[in-house]
Amino acid sequence: MLHVTVLCVGKLKERYWREACDEYAKRLSSFCKFRLIEVAEERLPDNPSAAQIDATLQAEGERLLAQVPKDSVTIALCIEGKEMDSPSLASYVEKIAVEGASHVTLIIGGSWGLSDAVKQRAKLRFSMSPLTFPHQLARVMLLEQLYRVFQIQNSGKYHK
């Protein structure tokens, strides 16, 4: 069974986001060994300097990379990444598994994005959309898409 880890910067504050993530995590457990890991978010002033933003990206990036299993295929979610529709993402995840990977890690950065080190570690830079979403919503959307991936792969009725 494929191991799937989603690494995120920051915690979900609102109960409704946590409940949505919990629901998809429960659904995913039928298809994979799923884990969601949150790393601490750096605090910045209201108008941070470029140096403060860079330091934040580096610190968050180090925490994220420390959680990536050594044998994991890593996917970084970033706006400049490749866009895919749901069937293409399902094919990509299936291809990873067929090639022998037993673990996939997807990484969502903080409000300033991901460090270059995290992006360089990734086998794929993936963008869900050219639109900008709150990180809480992006997390729920990613979990929903992962559930959809497994439904597509297993000819489920969820994806029409």
Positive or negative: CA dihedral 72, 106, 5, 102 = negative
Residues 76-127: pLDDT tens digits? 999 999 999 999 999 999 999 999 999 999 999 998 999 999 999 999 999 9
Interval 14-31 mean pLDDT? 96
pTM of the predicted model as reported, rounded to 2 decimal places:
0.94
Average pLDDT (20-43) is 96
Domains, the chain, in order of start with CATH, read: 3-153 (3.40.1280.10)
pLDDT score at 150: 96
Question: What confidence tier does 160 reach under pLDDT thresholds 50, 70, 90?
Answer: low
Q: Inform me whether the pLDDT recorded for 1 exceeds 70.
A: yes
Q: What is the per-residue pLDDT across 55-74, written as a single tens digit (0 to 9) for each? A: 999 999 999 999 999 899 99
pLDDT at 11: 94
Report the pLDDT value the prediction gives residue 158, as an integer from 0 to 100. Answer: 82
- What is the percentage of the chain residues whose pLDDT exceeds 90? 90
Q: pLDDT at position 21, please?
A: 97
pLDDT of residue 43: 92
